[in-house]
Amino acid sequence: MTITKNQEAGKLTISLEGRLDTTTAPQLEGELRTAVNGITELIFDLEKLDYVSSAGLRVLLAAQKVMNRQGSMKIRNVNSDIMEIFEITGFVDILSIE
Amino acid sequence: MDQNKTRKNRIVSLRFKIVVTIILTALILSVIAVTISYNVYSNTMDLHYKTLTSNLAKTAASQLDADALLRYYNEVKQIGEYDEEKYQSDEAYRKDYDAKANALKDDEYVRMLNVLFDIKDSNGITYLYVQKLEGNLCTYIMDADTSEEQCQLGTTHGVSGPTKETEHPEEGIPAFITNDTYGWLCTSMEPVRDSEGNPVALVGVDVSMNDIMEDRANYLRSILLIMGIAVVVLMFAILFFFVKALINPINMLSNAARSFIQDRNSEKKNDSAISKLNIRTGDEVETLCDSVKQMESDINTYIANLTAVTAEKERIGAELNVATQIQADMLPRIFPAFPEKKEVDLYATMDPAKEVGGDFYDYFLVDDDHLALVMADVSGKGVPAALFMVIAKTLIKNRAQLGESPAVILKNVNEQLCEGNEAELFVTVWLAIIEISTGKGIAANAGHEHPVLKRADGKYELVIYKHSPTVAIMNGINFREHTFELHPGDRLFVYTDGVPEATNAHNELFGTDRMLAALNRNPEASPKELLTTLKKDIDLFVGDAPQFDDITMLNFCYKCSPVVKELKVDAKRENLEEVLAFVDKELEIANCSMKTQMKIDVAVEEIFVNIANYAYAPETGSALIRIETQYDANRVEITFHDWGMPYDPLAKPDPDITLSAAERQIGGLGIFMVKKSMDDMKYSYVDGQNVLTIVKYLD
């Protein structure tokens, strides 16, 4: 999985590419732990993400909980396969998906 | 209400009819009786009076001297012409005439007049006189009258009435009755004859009939009065009699008959209104009453019989229903028939024509690798055929399970069915035993319909070959058998004659051509779908015509054996990629779409990571992943085995996905996602292994 970060002041955009699974989720989790400090607006661009397992969902949920305390979080460009997973798991109601 | 009204009308009507009948009858009889008796009475009286006057006239005539009378007549004619008007109006003329006439009356005249007076007085004669007829004139010679109206000798006037109408009035005029100014008179005139017998004068006798005529009127009045009274009395008597003897008993009968059903319903069967009737008229009404009583008891007996018969029929009907149910239960009806045999897919149906049928199908495993298929039709229908079917089915299955070949099975079954087959029933059987692993089979056809075979790339076609005789037709016969081979995708269709011989209202048969056409319309449909479509076709063809024969069908589909691959790895997260690669390779061979592949990958990841994280914690162990692909069914089954601690992931409750982000627990989502995205998921703990199976149908 490739993680691309783009920060403009308090706004951080993270683009994910490839698979967000058990193997790669800890990598994203590690990145976020340091990157979200002082961030008020976190944006995930999932345009090139083709796979999410529950491990990936866990990281997204944790990020949402953090951002609920310090600002807002948005998810962009979700493809239909991943949208289906969000729908099955009820994540569509938790995350702000654009 | 209406019934009561008409009933009342009817009773009035019967009484009215009786009254009218009596009055009319009495009236007609009275008129006839009165007319006859009145006529007889008056005729008798008339005759009596006529005879009387006639005799009196004869008596008087015999007392008179004819010569003297002729002399007086001649002498009075000498006086001159008698002028009636002048005599009445001219006193001088009358006195002169009287004096001249009286002068002619000598002793003899007076004597004869006295005789006439005697006769008149002693016989109650009203008028007694002697006349002489001359042409159209009659001249009085004597008149035994003392009143003013006495006719003087010589009084002359024209003849009239019967005198004028009689041909020879001088010979006497028969008695006649007149009613004129003198009242009712009976008149008779008899001639007075001289010594030579010539009539000289006529003696007239008038007898008054006024009294007798009054009597006659009285008689008429009396008889009418008596008749009237008699009619009224009789009418009431007859009416009373009819009411008592006819109308009342009929009303009693009618009321009793009306309450018949009411009495039955109110449990008064032995005390009904009809049985309490006591009509003792001793005539037809009593007979009618007895007949009604008899009818009531007959009806009661009949109803009792009918109730018993109906109950018996219901009992038989209920037992037939049970029999139908038992028969239906005897035929295997659980589909899929052999879920563990992936190579086998079959479906069968039977629609009996009557409550219980003679057709049957059967399928069962002879051993783990041999499947027996049976399609049979017992001759005849209904209960006898069904009983025979039960025996035949049981014998075939028992024999088949001994591992015998179809020909041997049928030979043995034939021997046993022939014993005591007094009803001469027989059964056509198609029996095949198929080796599931290879598709090789042996079949015997004992007089049954041609089976239908469809090769994987072909159409449904009849397989026509020489059949053996039917089973149970003759002792000791041998049956022919033949081998065949099925390849994956091949399908067999067997049926009973109810299919090709289904008949529509125009007596046309459904036939094998229509059957094959229906099968070939959608040859790749699942066996169940195929049979349902064919049955619909038959129903559409038959329409409203009754179903004559049982319709039984079986479709068998021999499928590819599934491809099974296994991978045993250490249950470590580092091995996830190896596991996914192994699964993805199989999915690619099965032409799985990327979307479905992602779902399956997620499921495999979740389950494998679960095993890696928890099954052996804190130790490590191995996991076996088995993937079974059924290409023709587009079905993938993946089984995960581990030898760790028993754990059923399906027993864990689903996470509440309606909670907010803050409330959501991290974790528990993986198995939930698998449950949602797979078509089936099963867990079992067998031989110290956790076995978790997921099933996904590929698009």
Select the residue of A23, A65, A81 nearest B576 (Cβ to Cβ). Answer: A23
Average pLDDT of the segment spanning B148-169: 80
Nearest to B453 by CA among B500, B495, B509, B400: B495
Interchain CB contact of B609 with A (< 8 Å): yes
Residue B157's pLDDT band (cuts 50, 70, 90): confident
pLDDT beyond 90 at B152: no
Q: What is the pLDDT of residues B529-545, one digit of tens each?
A: 999 999 999 999 998 88
Residue B686: phi, psi to the nearest 5? Answer: -130, 135
The secondary structure element, H or E, covering residue B342 is none
**Domains of chain A in sequence order:** 2-94 (3.30.750.24)
Question: Given pLDDT bands bounded at 50, 70 and 90, which one contains residue B249?
Answer: confident
The share of chain B scoring above pLDDT 70, in percent, equals 96
Which residue reads 């037992």 in tokens? B319
pLDDT at B3: 52
What is the predicted pLDDT for the residue at B699? 75
Task: Give the count of beta carbons closer than 10 Å to the beta carbon of residue B518.
Answer: 21
Gyration radius (Cα) of chain B, Å? 67
Residues from chain B that touch A1, judged by Cβ atoms under 8 A, are none
Structure tokens at B148: 């003013």
**Mean pLDDT computed over B9-28:** 79
Q: What is the DSSP letter of B268?
A: -
Q: Which of A20, A22, A73, A83 to mutate to test the interface with B (most CBs of B within 10 A)?
A: A22
**Crossing angle (nearest 10°) for helices A80-89 and B594-610:** 40
Q: Say yes or no to pLDDT of B381 above 80.
A: no
**Chain A nearest-CA residue for B668:** A54
Could you report how far apart the first and last alpha carbons of chain A are, in Å? 22
pLDDT value for B159: 80
B672 at A interface, C-beta within 8 A: yes
| Res. B353: pLDDT tops 80 | no
Helix, strand, coil: what percent of chain A each, to 5? Answer: 45, 35, 20
Q: What pLDDT is stored for residue A4 in this prediction?
A: 92
Cβ atoms of B492 and B556 within 8 Å: the answer is yes
pLDDT band, very low/low/confident/very high, at B261 (cuts 50, 70, 90) = confident
Q: Give the residue-averaged pLDDT of B143-157.
A: 82
In this complex, which of A64, A68, A89 lies closest to B669 when CB atoms are compared?
A: A89
Nearest to A58 among B576, B601, B666 (CB): B666
Tell me whether residues A53 and B670 touch, CB distance under 8 A.
yes
Disruptive mutation site among B593, B600, B602, B676 for chain A (greatest number of A CBs within 10 Å): B602
Question: pLDDT tens for residues B477-501?
Answer: 899 999 999 988 899 999 998 899 8
How near does any CA of chain B get to the CA of A81, in Å? 7
Give the C-alpha separation, B579 to B567, whole Å.
8
Instruction: Name every chain A residue with its beta carbon within 8 A of the beta carbon of B605.
Output: 21-22, 53
Q: What is the pLDDT of residue B343?
A: 82
Compute the distance between CA of residue B471 and CA of residue B393 in angstroms, rounded to an integer. 12
| Interface residue B662 vs chain A (CB under 8 A) | yes
Arithmetic mean of pLDDT, B280-297: 87
**pLDDT score of B1 more than 60:** no
Q: What is the dihedral of CA B454, B460, B465, B470, to 10 degrees?
A: 100
What global pTM score does this model have?
A: 0.49
Question: Cβ–Cβ of A94/B601 closer than 8 Å?
Answer: no
Residues 6+ apart with CB under 8 A from B256: B272, B273, B274, B276, B277, B292
pLDDT at B72 over 60: yes
Which is it for strands B199-208 and B183-193: parallel, antiparallel or unpaired? antiparallel
Q: Is the omega angle on the peptide bond into residue B336 within 30 degrees of 0, that is, cis?
A: yes
Tens-place pLDDT, residues B394-450:
999 999 999 999 999 999 999 998 887 877 888 999 999 999 888 899 999 998 999
What single string gives the DSSP state of each residue in B67-102? Answer: HHHHHHHHHHHHH----HHHHHH-HHHHHHHHHHHH
Please report the pLDDT score of residue A91 as a whole number: 87
Orientation angle between helical segments B107-123 and B2-62, nearest 10 degrees: 160
pLDDT digits 0-9 by tens, A4-43: 999 888 899 999 999 998 889 999 999 998 888 889 999 9
Q: Please indicate if any CB of chain B lies within 8 Å of the CB of A61.
A: yes
Residue B12's pLDDT band, with cuts at 50, 70 and 90, is low
List Cβ neighbours of B327 (8 Å cut-off, separation of 6 or more): B352, B356, B357, B386, B389, B390
CA distance B139 to B170: 12
| Alpha-carbon distance A61 to nearest alpha carbon in chain B (angstroms) | 7
B595: chain A residues, CB-CB within 8 Å = 81
pLDDT band at B453 (very low <50, low <70, confident <90, very high): very high
**Which segments of B149-270 does DSSP mark as H helices, in order?**
161-165, 210-242, 248-258, 260-265
The shares of helix, strand and coil residues in chain B, as percent rounded to the nearest 5, are: 50, 20, 30
Q: What backbone torsions phi and psi does residue B665 show, to the nearest 5 degrees?
A: -80, 145
What integer pLDDT is reported at residue B270 of this predicted model? 65
What mean pLDDT comes out for the span B302-317?
A: 92
pLDDT value at residue B355:
65
The per-residue pLDDT for B659 is 82
Chain B environment of A23 (Cβ under 8 Å): 573, 576-577
Q: In what order do the strands lie in the sheet with B491-495?
A: B344-351, B551-558, B491-495, B452-454, B460-462
Predicted confidence at residue B98, as pLDDT, reads 84
Q: At B601, which amino acid appears?
A: D
pLDDT of B456: 82
Pair B345, B363: CB distance under 8 Å: no
Answer yes or no: is pLDDT of B642 > 90.
yes
- Count of beta carbons in the 10 Å neighbourhood of residue B543: 9
Identify the residue with better confidence: B82 or B287: B287
pLDDT at B7: 56
Contact A21/B at CB under 8 A: yes
Residue B655 Cα to chain centre, angstroms: 70
Residue A97 to chain B, least CA–CA distance (Å) = 14
Q: Is A35 on the interface with B (CB under 8 A)?
A: no
- pLDDT value of position B91: 85
Region of poorest pLDDT, from B58-72, B140-154, B482-496: B140-154
B positions 551-580 inside 8 Å of A (CB): 573, 576-577
- ipTM of the modeled complex: 0.89
Q: Do B601 and A51 touch (CB under 8 A)?
A: yes
Average pLDDT, chain B: 87
Residue B609: which of A22, A51, A62 has the nearest Cβ?
A: A22
pLDDT at residue A73 in the model: 92
Q: Does A29 touch chain B (CB under 8 A)?
A: no
Q: What pLDDT score was predicted for residue B6? A: 55
Contacts of B654 in chain A (CB under 8 A): none
- CB spacing of A58 vs B657 below 8 angstroms: no
The 10s digit of each residue's pLDDT in B595-618 is: 899 999 999 999 999 999 899 988
- Whether B665 shows a pLDDT value over 80: the answer reads no
